[in-house]
Each structure stands twice: as C-alpha cells, then as structure tokens.
C-alpha cells in the first residue's frame, strides 16, 4: 500500500471520528507504542471566543446590594443614622451621636466580617466607613472569574454543546472553545442569552398605587418598580428587595404542580443553605401576603448607530407567577403557572446553569479549522 493511499485512509477516518477528544496510537522510530491525545478542537475545529469580565462593574453591584440591604436592616432594627453613601469599595455612614455609631459599628463587626471599619469625625458628624479590603476585593474578583467559567460551562452543557472548553486567560479574561460549531453569530447569541429567576414581595402600596397612582403616572414609591405579568400584561408594584434568586439554586427540574386541581407545568426548585434560610425568614414575615416570581432574561439584539451595527443586550423582566404565602417556605418548593412545558424546561435549564457573577463582553470571536490535518500524521 502506498503512502498516498495511507494518507487517504487517515483522511477518511478523521471525518468519522467522534467530536469528543480521542487518542491516536502509533509507533515511534524505536518501535515502542506512543499514544497522542487530541482535543475535540484539534479534531473538528470550532468557534473560539475571548471574553473580558467586567469585574469593576460586579464590585459596584456588590456595594449596591450592601447599600440596600443595610439600609433595610437599619430600619427594621431601629438603628438610627444620618445617611448612607456608596464609596468605590464600601459605604460611608453618618451619625448624629457617638452612641449611634457604636451600635452600628458593633453590628457590622459581628455580621459583616468582610468590612474594614474606620471611625472619623467631620463637620460635627460622626462618620463610620465600612470598606472591603483590597485582599477581599482581589479574592472576590478571582471568585467571579471562576464562577463565570463554571456558569458558562454548565450553560453550554445544558444546551447540548458537546465537550465545551472554558478556561481563564489572565486576571479578567475567559477563553471559550466550542468544538464542532462554526457559526459565529449563533455562538454569540448563545453566549449573550442569559436568564434567571427572582422572588420578590409585592409592595404594601400595591393596591392603592395600581388603582390610582399608576393610572395617573405618579412617581413610584421609594424602593419599588412596576413589572408586568407575562400572560395578562397586568401591572404589579414590586419591592426591589430579593427574597432568593438564581444564585441560591442548586437544582431545578421541570415537572407538574403537586397541588389540588388540574396539573399545570411547574419548576421544582432546591435552594442552598443560605437561600433556604433567607426564604424561610422572609416567607415567615410574609404570611398571607403576595410574592411574585420574576423571570429575568438577557436578550441580545443588534442596532444601528451612526451607520454601524452594534450588539446590545436587552434586559427583559416579566412576572410568571403571583401567589399568597400560606405557610413558611424552606429549601424545596415549586413555581407553578408556567405557560407550557417548554417554558418550564427553559426556566429550569437556565437556573441549573447558574448566574454570571460579572457581565462579560466579547473581545474576539473566530472560527478555527481542525489542526489535526494530514500533514501532522
């Protein structure tokens, strides 16, 4: 058999090889067997995407969550202050008296150990500065990159992309390799599209505002926003406070409701310990009150600006369920009211994939051909 024919045989065998990474056995010049491991990208080619992780945006988001959470805690526990201001890596809290500052300082030292606390006096006010240390910020950024890698890998696995490869590149970049795919627009759409679910209580002002203020286009009560129910387009006034969200979900399975009456498509959810504690604590306070389940989807779109096409992400929030809490909720529960089984599977899939810890933008996207060509054999 000639070398030319051998090459032809190898060429045919490569077309038939599995998308998964394979091992090719051959012999070295001394006659000993050598095994060469080839990745799915080398065998089949695919799309490679280099992405930048916006870590500063994520830190700002974390500070904003602290800001909302602490203001709520101060109000609930009657810890008096004279204003809270966001800083680059923390918060500045003003007080009228030294005693007020000491009470809050003790509370933060006990419950928020990630803060570095510092006291100062300025213009007759007692100041408490709570900042996240540089070490903690660096740890958070490293964690965010790792969480994004895990979330992207789970997402592509849930979407049945075979053997996705997601790795870190430097401190703030991630490299995505998707073997067997060659359509960059399709891949970019898969990367951009994200979704999650949040549980949020209805505002105490819901009924009065919706019946009057909403129709007259009056300003919203502080700490609230209007969202619309998916099927009826009915408006609801929700608090911005989140009971639990996709980041607390450890498992989500599509199924059917287990309550009395007709079976309807639903999602059965299991939360982690933190989410379960939050869910129980908040639901215990909201007995016989209404809570909304909000589906938040990031939908990619292309617009034209100054004659140039620009890719943007639209955030779409729709309420998929509003229900009364009749008993305290724990780690396991179900969300009913899905439009159909397809939506139930979609919601469950996105929840299993997990949230991105920080937003990402595409730096470069390209198609790579197979590197295991005839000349390498």
Q: Where are the domains of the chain?
A: 193-364
Average pLDDT over all residues of the chain: 81
Proportion of the chain above pLDDT 70, given as a percent: 85
Indicate the class that CATH gives domain 193-364. Answer: alpha beta
pLDDT above 90: residue 327: no
Q: Which band of pLDDT confidence, cut at 50, 70 and 90, is reported for residue 29?
A: low
Give me the pLDDT at residue 119, please.
93
Give me the pLDDT at residue 203, please.
92
| Average pLDDT score over residue span 224-233 | 90
Residue whose structure tokens are 């009150």 = 289
Give me the pLDDT at residue 30, please.
56
- 312-323, pLDDT tens digit by residue? 777 889 998 888
Q: What is the pTM of this model?
A: 0.63
Backbone angles phi, psi at 249, to 5 degrees: -85, 130
Q: Which band of pLDDT confidence, cut at 50, 70 and 90, is reported for residue 12?
A: very low
pLDDT above 60: residue 20: no
Give me the pLDDT at residue 11, please.
36
pLDDT above 80: residue 210: yes
Q: Where are the beta strands (DSSP E) in the chain?
A: 22-27, 33-38, 46-53, 84-86, 90-95, 115-122, 125-132, 165-169, 173-179, 194-201, 224-228, 235-239, 244-245, 249-256, 265-271, 290-305, 308-324, 332-335, 360-368
- 150-187, pLDDT tens digit by residue? 888 888 887 788 888 899 998 889 999 988 888 888 88
Length of the chain: 377
pLDDT above 70: residue 22: no
Range 362-366 contact pairs with CB under 8 angstroms and sequence separation of 24 or more: 362/49, 362/50, 362/51, 362/52, 362/188, 362/191, 363/50, 363/51, 363/52, 363/173, 364/49, 364/50, 365/47, 365/48, 365/49, 365/50, 365/184, 365/187, 365/188, 366/47, 366/48, 366/184
- 31-86, pLDDT tens digit by residue? 555 555 556 677 778 889 998 888 887 788 888 889 988 998 898 889 999 999 99
């Amino acid at each position: 058999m000639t070398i030319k024919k051998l090459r032809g045989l190898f060429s045919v065998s490569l077309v038939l090889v599995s998308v998964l990474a394979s091992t090719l056995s051959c012999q070295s010049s001394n006659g000993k067997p050598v095994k060469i491991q080839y990745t799915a990208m080398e065998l089949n080619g695919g799309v490679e995407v280099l992405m930048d992780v916006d870590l500063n945006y994520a830190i700002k988001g974390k500070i904003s969550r602290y800001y909302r959470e602490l203001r709520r805690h101060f109000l609930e526990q009657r810890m008096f202050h004279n204003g809270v201001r966001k800083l680059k890596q923390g918060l500045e809290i003003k007080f009228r008296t030294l005693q007020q500052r000491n009470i809050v300082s003790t509370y933060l030292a006990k419950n928020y150990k990630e803060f570095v606390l510092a006291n100062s006096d300025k213009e007759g006010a007692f100041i408490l500065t709570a900042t996240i240390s540089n070490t903690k910020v660096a740890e958070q950024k490293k964690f965010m990159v790792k969480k994004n890698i895990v979330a992207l890998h789970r997402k592509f696995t849930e979407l049945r992309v075979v053997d996705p490869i997601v790795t870190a590149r430097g401190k703030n970049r991630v490299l995505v390799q998707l073997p067997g795919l060659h359509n960059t627009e399709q891949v970019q759409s898969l990367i951009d599209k994200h979704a999650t679910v949040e549980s949020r209580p209805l505002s105490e002002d819901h009924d009065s505002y919706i019946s009057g203020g909403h129709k007259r286009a009056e300003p919203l009560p502080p700490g609230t926003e209007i969202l619309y129910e998916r099927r009826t387009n009915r408006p609801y006034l929700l608090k911005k406070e989140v009971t639990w969200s996709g980041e607390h979900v450890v498992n989500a399975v599509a199924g059917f409701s287990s309550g009395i009456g007709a079976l309807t498509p639903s999602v059965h959810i299991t939360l982690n310990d933190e989410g379960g504690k939050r869910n129980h604590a908040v639901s215990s306070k909201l007995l016989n009150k209404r809570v909304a389940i909000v589906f938040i989807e990031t939908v990619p779109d292309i617009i034209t600006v100054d004659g140039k096409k620009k890719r943007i992400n639209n955030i779409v929030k729709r309420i998929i369920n509003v229900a009364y809490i009749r008993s305290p909720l724990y780690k396991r529960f179900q969300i009913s009211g899905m439009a159909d089984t397809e939506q139930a599977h979609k919601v469950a899939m996105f929840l299993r994939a997990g949230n991105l810890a920080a937003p990402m933008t595409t730096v470069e996207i390209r198609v790579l051909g197979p590197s295991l060509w005839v000349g390498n054999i």
